[in-house]
Chain A
């Protein structure tokens, strides 16, 4: 249990081998969904990712008054974030997987590199799922569900990563932010978990307008059409 009171940092430790990395998601990311002949290779990549992962995750409950440091008044997600209990989160599987991905490509083990990269990406999302679940448990008495949002998506500026990481004191976890606003290790996710009723967590259409994500389940149908490949 996290038990994160406002301002208090709570770490969530899990072994890499305990990360549940769903094979279908890895296959989808690696471009071989619905291709059973690659199942064994996907399974091997998942094992490799679990062995190389050094998961670190942290959450911090946020007061509504802290939101302006993370979101400007015109951020489409602000209303959602204000609507319910919220936590700043950060999770990483460490730099091991990305180093091994490079090694694979340099050694011309292209397939292994591709699949490990996909497995590591899914692994950090799996870690976030655990974190999200722990946040939801803190407010289990309330109706609703937890959902997470990350800078760079849903119209939330990527620049918000800086105050998020500062709030979470993420440097302690070995997580840093580069000047061009990507986090190191690369397989790191930061964001907000918000708890509320599904309707209150629905992303407004304007949030999709500037979002670069092409395959988002929350993307509004009209926007998917507009962003289809040329």
Chain B
């Protein structure tokens, strides 16, 4: 459909000034908000993600497209809420207690939103209790944690332990950050290790595939 093609093209090219008007046009034409979201915005971000994985796109390209996606989402959001459209899932993300670095975590959040997830970003220096509380409040199924220093990595284990202690064993956990490794993820019982933002998103997608 031409209107969806136009949305996808604008988003893939990172034209954030064009996406809202194209989304409005699609709404005016009577297309359901959920279809605009899935066949326009999310489908375009899938292409962007694929190009990134193939090294055709660089991180700035992804971020420009993500900004365009946000512009489109801002326009679509009231209609999605009205129609009670559900997202692909809710992911709680945060930089763990004691750590203030949040660029990597921000990138993961932006890419997760691009993949159609609702992202609750708790910011940095997030305590295990705050992660647990957010999971409960938002009925989230996935928690993503970031740490940049070896000294703050142990806080990831404390979050996982707190989730288990709170009876939230079913919640999937993904960890990432410069000093983190696959081995460390296994050691602390995390469900996945995101080597980079794209891998983290792939992991999260894998958790929600039926």
Chain A interface residues toward B at CB < 8 A = 30-32, 35, 38, 41, 101, 105, 108-111, 113-115, 117, 152, 158, 178-182, 184, 186, 212-214, 229-230
Contact = CB atoms under 8 A, between A and B. Distances in A.
Contacts of B66: 110
B193 interface: yes
10 contacts: A31-B60, A32-B59, A35-B60, A101-B103, A114-B60, A178-B98, A179-B98, A182-B99, A184-B100, A230-B182
Interface in B152-210: 152, 178-179, 182, 193, 195-196
Contacts of A181: 149, 151
Contact of A114 (B63, B149, B151): B63
A182 B101 CA distance: 10
Nearest to A184: B100
B151 A38 contact: no
A158 B178 CA distance: 14
A152 B152 CA distance: 13
B150 A152 contact: yes
Interface of B: 58-61, 63-64, 66-67, 70, 98-101, 103, 106-107, 110, 148-152, 178-179, 182, 193, 195-196
B182 A35 contact: no
Nearest to B106: A105
B99 A117 contact: no
A207 to B, nearest CB: 15
B60 A111 contact: yes
Given A182-B149, A230-B195, A32 B100 contact: no
Contacts of A117: 103
A111 B103 CA distance: 11
A230 to B, nearest CB: 5
Q: Which of A31, A105, A117 has the most C-beta atoms of chain B within 10 angstroms of its own C-beta?
A: A31
A108 B99 contact: no
The 5 A-B residue pairs whose C-beta atoms are closest, nearest first, are A180-B98, A31-B59, A212-B179, A32-B58, A110-B63
B100 A182 contact: yes
A35 B182 CA distance: 30
A38 B57 CA distance: 11
A122 to B, nearest CB: 14
B149 A113 contact: no
A114 B101 contact: no
B181 to A, nearest CB: 8
Contacts of A182: 99-101, 148-149, 151-152
Nearest to A118: B103
